[in-house]
């Protein structure tokens, strides 16, 4: 370890301990240099994990195809092993931490034989930020190292921030081993699907992940640290670690406001974070597309940093019309996972905006005919060419719409917070909370149709409070109480809170709102509400815009559809209220009574309508 030039004694001893457990053939410190990145990429190409894409089309970019059993978060195999089950709460899987460590130790024992253990220090947050944190992941996956290199500040920035005795979050990852060790290592995507486990020990600031090489299960800097562990740190220290994008809106007069927003996976969060405005003179820029760490500063305002340095986004349905900024971001230096491969060496996915060429190879590496009526050339089923949860991993440095202050060490001041999901009815286009507590109530009851990001749960309506249900590292009732407490200081200048829904449909099943660039019209109304403009119509759900106050100039939408978008139907709210009550009861006895009072007020207001 002396050659690693690591001064932190805790890191040195931990690496030595895990080396003895996992028994790798070698241990390598990843310093985050281009030479290291290129060398590991060449290694993955040589063993077949990576396919180098056409350098004329996507320079220095690669396609990886995972094992079909390892394509999504495995929530049923994700655990919060706090000291007591009550601290984990009803929304998390819990096992006694001693029992879980005993179980995992047997799996990790010798799991890296024949492989390299990579030591990957990473910094979450801008360099020099008082809010940034250091983590270290030990992994036997070069694929994981390269993905982390794109979405986190790996190597030297973290080592510089890691003083001799500084604390850091410990993350141990192994792709796992099959019953036949040699067979597992021969695979281009090693994993152990039957014994996968993604385990968090919050009090120890420790994550152990075994058996999966996919995204959030293996990139432990992301959901595991930046949300599950960080949410526990935030609770203890009085700040917020949230599953939120951050963007800036600048009006034609040059005034800028920052907005944060929580949306469950595949509900348009990245598209909104990178949206191109449809309104002349109005500009949107990106601070982050997925995670926000938020602190109240001495001026009483809520400030947010994006702890990440890149994007790990859902590829399907990303196109020049839905998100041209994303398309421009991953033209180079990008890792694609589980996308289809075109004959000319480019990637393709459903919703990219053009048909797949004949001879395109699907994500399972089988060749398909592009004709809808023709048979599959390999004889396999006519499934999508691209996996629904296919991903792109790329650096924010290539994004053309990053805000000038996205790496401001002190963060950016938040004027408004959005909660949004996929709802075909009931929830209007935009609704303003009456107060901070009422906004917490809306966030606590956020719901959406589930997507492929959660394995095996597509199309089901799911309550996903704050879009944090899979990511809150402690009792969800205590989490609600923590949010309420953050607004109890009367000297604080609290952001306004809104619920938005781009996905409301008419009786024929057609979307009422065009979405994408036209979501700017809703952002404009919110921006101007934050400046004290307009009045709202009071409803049982909250404050709604008057239709004439929403900028619809040039928008091809009928007055009837606009009215429908900005209407709360009392008859639809009655079953919604029952669903909310059942949800809050299911979240356990620690749910604050304040939220039930908000529900009672909503029910009373609905009865008066």
73: domain CATH number?
Answer: 3.40.449.10
Mapping DSSP to helix (H, G, I), strand (E, B) and coil, where does residue 217 land?
helix
- The average pLDDT across 522-546 equals 97
- The average pLDDT across 385-389 equals 94
Question: CA 392, CA 479: separation in Å to the nearest integer?
Answer: 31
Residue 414 lies in a domain: yes
Q: Judging by DSSP bridges, how do beta strands 536-538 and 543-545 pair with one another?
A: antiparallel
Averaged pLDDT of the chain: 92
Q: Kindly tell me if the per-residue pLDDT of 275 is higher than 60.
A: yes
Check whether residue 257 and residue 232 sit in a common domain.
no
For residue 426, the tally of other CB atoms under 10 A from its CB is: 17
The alpha carbon torsion through 157, 393, 263, 170 (nearest 10 deg) reads -40
Active site residues: 267
Residue 328 lies in a domain: no
Are 163 and 8 within 8 A, CB to CB? yes
Residue 61 lies in a domain: no
| Residue 149 burial (10 A CB sphere; 0-12, 13-18, 19+) | buried
Window from 72-76, 137-141, 356-360 with minimum mean pLDDT: 72-76
Q: Give the confidence band of 185 by pLDDT, cuts at 50, 70, 90.
A: very low
Looking at residue 608, its pLDDT comes to 84
Give the tens place of pLDDT for each residue, 145-183. Answer: 999 999 999 999 999 888 766 899 999 999 997 544 444
Check whether residue 558 and residue 478 sit in a common domain.
yes
Question: CA 461, CA 449: separation in Å to the nearest integer?
Answer: 4
Q: Give the confidence band of 457 by pLDDT, cuts at 50, 70, 90.
A: low
- As a whole-number percent, the residues of the chain with pLDDT over 90 amount to 87
Which domain, by its residues, includes 273?
A: 241-306+406-608
**What is the phi/psi pair of residue 412, to 5°?**
-120, 145
- The average pLDDT across 89-114 equals 97
Check whether residue 22 and residue 162 sit in a common domain.
yes
Q: Give 164 or 311, the one with higher predicted confidence.
A: 311
Q: Which spans in 48-193 are helix H?
A: 85-88, 97-108, 142-151, 156-161, 181-186
Check whether residue 184 and residue 282 sit in a common domain.
no
Q: Kindly tell me if the per-residue pLDDT of 453 is higher than 80.
A: no
Residue 570 lies in a domain: yes
Unique residue bearing structure tokens 């190292």 = 145
**What is the phi/psi pair of residue 598, to 5°?**
-65, -40
Check whether residue 215 and residue 252 sit in a common domain.
no
Contacts of 124 (CB under 8 A, 6+ apart): 132, 133, 134, 135, 152, 153, 221, 225, 226, 230, 293, 307, 308
Question: CA 566, CA 430: separation in Å to the nearest integer?
Answer: 7
The alpha carbon torsion through 83, 84, 88, 90 (nearest 10 deg) reads 160
Check whether residue 118 and residue 245 sit in a common domain.
no
Give the tens place of pLDDT for each residue, 556-582. Answer: 999 999 999 999 998 899 999 999 999
Number of domains in the chain: 2
**What is the phi/psi pair of residue 60, to 5°?**
50, 40
For residue 560, the tally of other CB atoms under 10 A from its CB is: 10
**What is the phi/psi pair of residue 566, to 5°?**
-110, 35
Question: CA 402, CA 393: separation in Å to the nearest integer?
Answer: 16
Are 590 and 478 within 8 A, CB to CB? yes
Domain end (from 220, 237, 254): 237
Q: Give the confidence band of 277 by pLDDT, cuts at 50, 70, 90.
A: very high
Mapping DSSP to helix (H, G, I), strand (E, B) and coil, where does residue 114 land?
coil
CATH number at residue 438: 3.90.228.20
Residue 372 lies in a domain: no
Residue 371 lies in a domain: no
- The average pLDDT across 318-339 equals 96
Window from 254-268, 405-419, 451-465, 547-561 with minimum mean pLDDT: 451-465
Residue 547 lies in a domain: yes
Question: DSSP for 506-558?
Answer: -TTS-BSS--GGGGHHHHHHHHHHHTT-S-EEE-SS-EEE-GGGS--TT----
The beta-strand segments (E) located in 39-188 are 50-52, 62-64, 78-80, 116-124, 133-139, 153-154, 169-174
Check whether residue 547 and residue 421 sit in a common domain.
yes
Looking at residue 181, its pLDDT comes to 45
Looking at residue 31, its pLDDT comes to 94
Mapping DSSP to helix (H, G, I), strand (E, B) and coil, where does residue 259 land?
strand
């Amino acid at each position: 370890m002396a050659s690693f030039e690591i001064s932190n004694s805790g890191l040195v001893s931990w690496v030595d301990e895990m080396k003895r457990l996992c028994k790798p053939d070698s241990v390598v410190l990843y310093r985050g240099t281009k030479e290291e990145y290129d060398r590991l990429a060449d290694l993955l190409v040589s063993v077949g994990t990576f396919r180098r894409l056409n350098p004329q089309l996507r320079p220095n970019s690669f396609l990886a195809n995972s094992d079909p059993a390892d394509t999504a978060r495995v929530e049923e195999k994700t655990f919060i092993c706090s000291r007591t089950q009550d601290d984990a709460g009803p929304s998390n899987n819990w096992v006694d931490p001693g029992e879980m460590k005993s179980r995992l130790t047997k799996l990790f024992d010798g799991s890296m034989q024949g492989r390299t253990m990579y030591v990957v220090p990473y910094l979450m947050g801008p360099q020099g930020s008082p809010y940034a944190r250091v983590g270290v992941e030990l992994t036997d996956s070069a694929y994981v190292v390269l993905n982390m290199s794109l979405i986190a500040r790996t190597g030297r920035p973290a080592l510089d921030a890691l003083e001799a005795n500084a604390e850091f979050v410990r993350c141990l990852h192994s792709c796992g081993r099959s019953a036949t060790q040699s067979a597992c290592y021969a695979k281009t995507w090693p994993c152990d699907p039957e014994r996968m486990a993604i385990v968090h020990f919050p009090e120890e600031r420790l994550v152990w992940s075994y058996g999966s090489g996919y995204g959030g299960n293996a990139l432990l800097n992301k959901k595991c640290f930046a949300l599950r562990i960080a949410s526990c740190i935030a609770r203890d220290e009085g700040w917020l670690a949230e599953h939120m994008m951050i963007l800036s809106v600048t009006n034609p007069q040059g005034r800028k406001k920052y907005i944060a927003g929580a949306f469950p996976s595949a509900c348009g969060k990245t598209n909104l974070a990178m949206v191109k405005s449809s309104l002349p003179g109005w500009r949107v820029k990106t601070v982050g597309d997925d995670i926000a760490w938020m602190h109240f500063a001495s001026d009483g305002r809520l400030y947010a940093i994006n702890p990440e340095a890149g994007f790990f986004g859902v590829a399907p349905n990303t196109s020049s019309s839905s998100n041209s900024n994303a398309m421009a971001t991953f033209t180079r230096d990008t890792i694609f996972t589980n996308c289809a491969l075109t004959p000319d060496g480019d990637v393709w996915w459903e919703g990219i905006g053009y048909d797949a060429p004949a001879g395109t190879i699907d994500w399972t590496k089988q060749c398909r005919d592009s004709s809808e009526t023709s048979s599959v050339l390999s004889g396999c089923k006519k499934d999508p060419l691209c996996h629904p949860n296919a991903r792109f991993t790329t650096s924010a440095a290539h994004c053309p719409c990053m805000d000038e202050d996205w790496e401001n060490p002190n963060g950016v001041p938040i004027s408004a917070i959005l909660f949004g999901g996929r709802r075909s009815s009931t929830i209007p286009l935009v609704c303003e909370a009456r107060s901070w507590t009422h906004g917490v109530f809306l966030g606590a009851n956020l719901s959406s149709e589930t997507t492929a990001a959660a394995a095996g749960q597509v199309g089901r309506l799911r309550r996903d409070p704050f879009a944090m249900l899979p990511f809150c590292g402690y009792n969800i009732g205590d989490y609600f109480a923590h949010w309420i407490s953050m607004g109890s200081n009367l000297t604080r200048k609290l952001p306004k809170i809104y619920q938005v829904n781009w996905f409301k449909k008419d009786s024929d099943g057609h979307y009422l709102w065009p979405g994408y660039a036209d979501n700017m019209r809703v952002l404009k109304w919110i921006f101007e509400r934050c400046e004290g403009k307009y009045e709202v119509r009071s409803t049982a759900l909250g404050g709604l815009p008057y239709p004439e106050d929403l900028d619809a100039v040039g928008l091809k939408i009928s007055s009837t559809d606009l009215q429908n978008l900005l209407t709360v139907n009392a008859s639809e709210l009655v079953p919604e209220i029952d669903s909310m009550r059942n949800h809050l009861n299911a979240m356990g006895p620690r749910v604050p009574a304040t939220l039930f009072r908000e529900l009672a007020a909503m029910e009373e207001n609905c009865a008066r309508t």
